[in-house]
């Protein structure tokens, strides 16, 4: 029913393939328009609006080591370093 189509990216002008599988996915989702950008340009557009992530330094509530977290820590909840967080998560899944 669907066949691969070669399209031209409106940003970089390069040709890209709109595969039969992608066309089927678009049809299932009810999308009316074909993609106008290649994957590289779509990814660049998505990440362009995002600035660099700000990290905050705190102390791990379990081991006491310094931890960098992507959110502003508050005093109402304990903060764990990545190692302690992973260990706690593994214990919960057991």
Q: Are residues 15 and 40 in the same domain?
A: yes
- Judge if 30 and 60 occupy the same domain: no
Residues of the chain with pLDDT > 90: what percent? 71
Q: Are residues 61 and 42 in the same domain?
A: no
What is the extent of the structural domain holding 86?
56-93
Instruction: Please state whether the predicted TM-score (pTM) of the whole model is above 0.75.
Output: no
DSSP secondary structure of 5-63: EEEE-TTT--EEEE-HHHHHHHHHHT--SPP-S-HHHHHHHHHHT--PPP-EEEE-TTT
Confidence band, pLDDT 50/70/90 cuts, at residue 94: confident
Same domain, 23 and 40: yes
Q: What is the pLDDT of residue 46?
A: 87
Domain identity same for 9 and 42: yes
pLDDT, tens digit (0-9, with 9 covering 90-100), for 40-81 = 999 999 888 777 788 999 999 999 999 999 899 988 889 999
Residue 93 is predicted with a pLDDT of: 84
């Amino acid at each position: 029913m669907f066949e691969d189509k070669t399209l031209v990216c409106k940003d970089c002008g390069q040709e890209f393939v709109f595969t039969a599988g992608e066309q089927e996915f678009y049809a299932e989702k009810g999308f009316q328009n074909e993609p106008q950008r290649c994957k590289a340009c779509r990814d660049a557009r998505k990440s362009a609006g995002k600035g660099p992530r700000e990290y905050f330094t705190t102390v791990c509530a379990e081991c006491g080591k310094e931890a960098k977290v992507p959110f502003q820590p508050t005093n109402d909840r304990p903060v764990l370093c990545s190692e302690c967080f992973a260990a706690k998560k593994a214990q919960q899944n057991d």
